[in-house]
Amino acid sequence: MFNNATNASWTNCTEQSNTVYVTVYTLVFIIGLILNLFALVIFFCHTKSRSHTTVYMTNLALADLILVCALPIRIYKYLGFEVKQHICEISGLILLANMYGSILLLTCISLDRCLAVCFPLSSRVREGRKKAPLVCLGIWMLTIGASLPMYLAKKTNNSIKQDNCFGSFPQYAVQTTALISTLTVGFGMPLVIMALSSCGLVRAISKSTAAQTPDLVNSRRIHRMVSTNMAIFLVCFLPYHILLMMLHFYRNHIESMPCAMLYAYRYSLMLACLNATLDPLAYYFTTETFRKNVDIDAVWRMWPLNNLSSDENSRSRAALNT
């Protein structure tokens, strides 16, 4: 397995400053906390209908919220304070479990949109979409169950020495079996499904008669939404999984690994966490479904300063939405 010498060679790769990590994780925590809490308030209190897509979005907001709540421990550590090893491990477990939960939920949202548009009259599709709560439950069970072995392996295998919080080599994640599962079930299959669903959605919209009438369907806006969602997915999650594959080839000779690999791995993990702040913007506030299902007036009245001129503001918002 790995000895103390190779582990030491890895942990000696320390950067001069942790300012970038502290800054990025702090921004992700603050922005992600605000946006995802706001989204949950909207979904639970001000949503007019509980559609199947809304079920996935609610679970996505919850997964992203849990993810960002694990970030303060990383911020505290990168500020130079000591953090107990088991707390680091639990924080890492929460982050990874909810990161893959977000990936699978984003895939379900994309597939649900595609099925709803491409097969609107299929009774089998309608019955399948009604199982959204069960699908979400399965995703939670899968991500938590798949992440637990990594934590348990650290606790039971004495040959793996972990003494560098958030900086140690991800031994379990780059093992062949775990890596294959991660790249196929955790990232590869969701990526393929998202790509096919996006292409199917764009094709169905382009061929529909409603798309020929800009007043009914803004096809350009839908294309932009689909491409933005795919771009965010790739930018946030592709670098992390590429780095895992690269680390896999160094798993038996860590002493020869360049320190730049460590820095790239850490930065790729930051990009993956950044998705928690982009999900609300890309999937909630820029989609027609979200705006149609949200009681805008109720949300607007949540802000005290707007109560004084609600009538004028309502007229202004109506003009902007036409």
Q: Beta-carbon neighbour count of residue 178 at 10 Å?
A: 20
Which of 2.40.160.40, 1.20.1070.10, 1.10.10.10, 3.30.470.20 would CATH assign to domain 18-307? 1.20.1070.10
Instruction: Give the mean model confidence (pLDDT) for residues 153-166.
Output: 55
Distances (CA, A) of 88 to 14, 92, 171: 18, 6, 15
Which stretch of 150-164, 179-193, 231-245 has the lowest confidence by average pLDDT?
150-164
Distances (CA, A) of 16 to 19, 71, 76, 182, 271: 9, 21, 17, 32, 21
- Model pLDDT, residue 9: 46
Q: How confident is the model at residue 6 (pLDDT cuts 50, 70, 90)?
A: very low
Q: How confident is the model at residue 84 (pLDDT cuts 50, 70, 90)?
A: confident
Q: Beta-carbon neighbour count of residue 286 at 10 Å?
A: 15
Helix axis angle, 189-207 to 85-118, nearest 10°: 30
Q: If we measure between CA atoms, which residue out of 286, 293, 316, 277 comes closest to residue 34?
A: 277
Q: How confident is the model at residue 85 (pLDDT cuts 50, 70, 90)?
A: confident
Q: Which residue has the higher pLDDT, 54 or 47?
A: 54
pLDDT over 70 percentage in the chain = 71
Domain ranges of the chain: 18-307
pLDDT (tens digit per residue) in 281-310: 766 555 555 555 555 455 455 555 454 444
Q: Is the pLDDT of residue 258 over 60?
A: yes
| CA–CA–CA angle 245, 10, 237 (5° rounding) | 30
Q: How confident is the model at residue 48 (pLDDT cuts 50, 70, 90)?
A: low
Q: Beta-carbon neighbour count of residue 321 at 10 Å?
A: 8
pLDDT over 90 percentage in the chain = 29
Q: Which residue has the higher pLDDT, 154 or 190?
A: 190
